[in-house]
Structure 1
Amino acid sequence: MNSSFLLFKNDDHKFIHLGLERLNIEGIFTNQYLIIHKNEGFLIDPGGAHVFSRVFSNVSKYIDLRNIKGVFFSHQDPDVAAGLSLWDIHLPNAKYFFSKLWDRFMPHYGVYSKYKVSLIEDYGGKYYFEDGAELQFIPAHFLHSSGNFTLYDPTSKVLFSGDIGVGVIQPSLKKLFVEDFNEYKKEMEWFHKRYMVSNKIINMWISKVENFDVEIMAPQHGLLFRKKEFIEFLNWFKKLECGEDIIEKIYYNREG
């Protein structure tokens, strides 16, 4: 699925999944997304260097890169941000949005200009398009990164969830959405138990998002969730024991 896929479209607004590809390398397949509001672009978790050519090509089909005004990084991992120096060459008018915790990480990705950076406070914040339409940065700290955010787009009703809800699989060419949640949770369970810090932290994030009107939850890896499966995911996630809840089992190799 090298080609992109429209998750939402109206006269003024698009939310676009930027395709995926088969790679002959070790690694986890990633999803990248683009929001276009009128003629203004906002790129989400653009990814590492090895996906740059595919993402760049698909973005360029939709918008002049000079009109991309924001790039959001949910956290500091290389599968989120390692291609940043490549993007920086082509995005003269963009600002980069990420947690204030990662301010000093960005020079390692090749970005040195402070005027191109907009730091997100721990409690979150908003991005405003030129006409006042907004995106919301939702705190998701320690799920799994200590400085982590998800993003809600009220216009499309898409929740970008980053590493929350990931399945460590490659979506097939014929399947982009979860169809059977009970089956798919087998692909999510190990990752969420090991990478999420605690059930208390999970429920703090759920308290932020459970009242949003979400038509699609779009994670950084694996399949996407429609409304029904999103609700099933929240019901599963809020009861999950993980991280410090099960640390003794991890340290001492205990079953259960």
Structure 2
Amino acid sequence: MAFVLFESGDHRCVAFNDLVRGDDGVQANQFLIQNGRHSAVLDPGGALVYNPLMLALAAYVKPNEVDLVLCSHQDPDIIGAVDKWLLYTQATVVCSKLWGRFVPHVVPGYMKNSGADRYLLLPDEGGLIPVGNAVIRAVPAHFLHSVGNFGFYDPQAKILFSGDVGASLIPSGASYGFVQDFATHVPKMEGFHRRYMGSNRVLRLWVDMVRKLDPQMIVPQHGLPFRGEAIGQFLNWLERLECGIDLLGPADFRV
């Protein structure tokens, strides 16, 4: 089922939240940004969701006419089906320059039209990515799960697609919608963030950057999105969270 996050004029942002079958894999969201006849798919996932995503996209765009595949990082639930995107579309794959030589390892060597010209590799500071008459800004999220990690900010919709930052673990089949009660939502995020985020120092740098962006929505790749007062509550929670290397000590490295 598609969830329209934003629609105004010829600009639209859509989330697909229920394409993973039951407990076959970790729940993951895929996204579509459309501007006129141009479009980008964000974090499209692996073979598990490729066919369902193609069917879901067809209500909005011809999948083989997608212009861009935006990848926040290198995990299978992000780029696992990149070979199919390169084979069946003319889309350009956008990812960190750190992963530009790793992503081709999931692309068969015999495949034609899958070389370096099909990739747009982002420097660490990010950059601007045109989608029709709109521009998507790749913003750094390094060491917040991956060493070469980006969020994608749509300034027209004022949505930050935040990748794994803000991810929550929700049951398969749970309804998709904005977080209503932040306090009860925290347990769905806390364990993941403590383990997968690099350190509190990096979280505070990211929070400062996001406050300057001032998004109206923060939409992670797993679980539920934030808007309104939940955004401030989420950022306040993140900047106080100990995680990653903050929690490690000698006991974690015993033989």
Return the TM-score normalized by structure 2.
0.92
**Inter-partner Cα distance in structure 2 for 1:202 and 1:76:** 20
- Please name the residue that 1:77 is paired with: 75
Call closer, same or farther: CA 1:85–1:24 in 2, change over 3 Å. same
Structure 2 counterpart of 1:125, from 124, 127, 134:
127
Candidates 38, 45, 50, aligned match of 1:47: 45
Aligned residue type for 1:87: W
CA RMSD of the aligned region, Å?
1.8
Distance 1:76 1:168, change over 3 A: same
Structure-1 separation of matches of 2:200 and 2:231: 18
1:199 shift after superposition: 0.6
* Counterpart AA for 1:174: S
2-side partners of 1:130 and 1:214: how far apart? 21
Q: CA deviation at 1:250?
A: 6.7
| Aligned residue number for residue 31 of structure 1 | 29
Equivalenced residue count is 249
Task: Please give the residue correspondences for 1:1-256 in structure 2 after superposition, counting only pairs within 5 Å.
Answer: 3-21=1-19, 23-92=21-90, 94-110=91-107, 112-131=114-133, 133-170=134-171, 172-248=173-249, 251=252
- Range with greater deviation from structure 2 (221-230 or 31-40): 221-230
Could you list the per-position Cα deviations for residues 96-133 of structure 1 after superposition, in whole angstroms to 9, with x for gaps in the alignment? 100000011122121741100000000110101343x2
Residues 22-80 of structure 1: per-residue CA shift (max 9 Å, x gap): 52444210000000001100110000111111111111210123432111100000011
Q: 1:19·1:55 contact (CA, 8 Å) conserved in 2? A: no
1:250 & 1:237 partners in 2: Cα distance? 25
Which shifted more, 137-146 or 227-236? Answer: 227-236
Residues of 2 paired with 1:137 and 1:175: CA distance?
A: 25
In the TM superposition, what is the alpha-carbon distance from 1:180 to its structure 2 partner? 0.8
Give structure 1 stretches of 5+ with no counterpart. none
Judging changes above 3 Å, is the alpha-carbon distance between structure 1 residues 99 and 175 closer, same or farther for their aligned structure 2 residues? closer
* Runs of 4+ residues deviating >6 angstroms: none
Could you tell me which amino acid in structure 2 is paired with residue 203 of structure 1? R
Q: Deviations over 1:172-209 (max 9, x none)?
A: 45342211111111111111111111111111111221
> Is the contact between residue 171 and residue 223 of structure 1 (CA under 8 Å) also seen in structure 2?
no
> SS in structure 2 opposite 1:174?
coil
Q: Quick one: distance in 1 between partners of 2:93 and 2:184?
A: 37
- Specify whether residues 246 and 8 from structure 1 end up closer, same or farther in structure 2 by C-alpha distance, changes over 3 A only: same
> Cα gap change, 1:24/1:66 in structure 2, threshold over 3 Å: closer, same or farther?
closer
2:111: which partner in 1? Answer: none
Distance 1:173 1:202 in 2: 28
2:25 maps to a residue whose letter is G
Cα deviation code 1:71-92 (max 9, x no counterpart): 1100000011101112222212
| Native 8 Å contact 2:34 2:131 kept in 1 | no
The change in CA–CA distance for 1:225 and 1:172 in structure 2 (over 3 A counts) is farther
Q: Secondary structure at the match of 1:88?
A: helix
Distance 1:175 1:50 in 2: 20
Structure-1 separation of matches of 2:224 and 2:185: 9
Structure 1 residue 244 displacement after superposition: 1.4
Identical positions, percent = 37
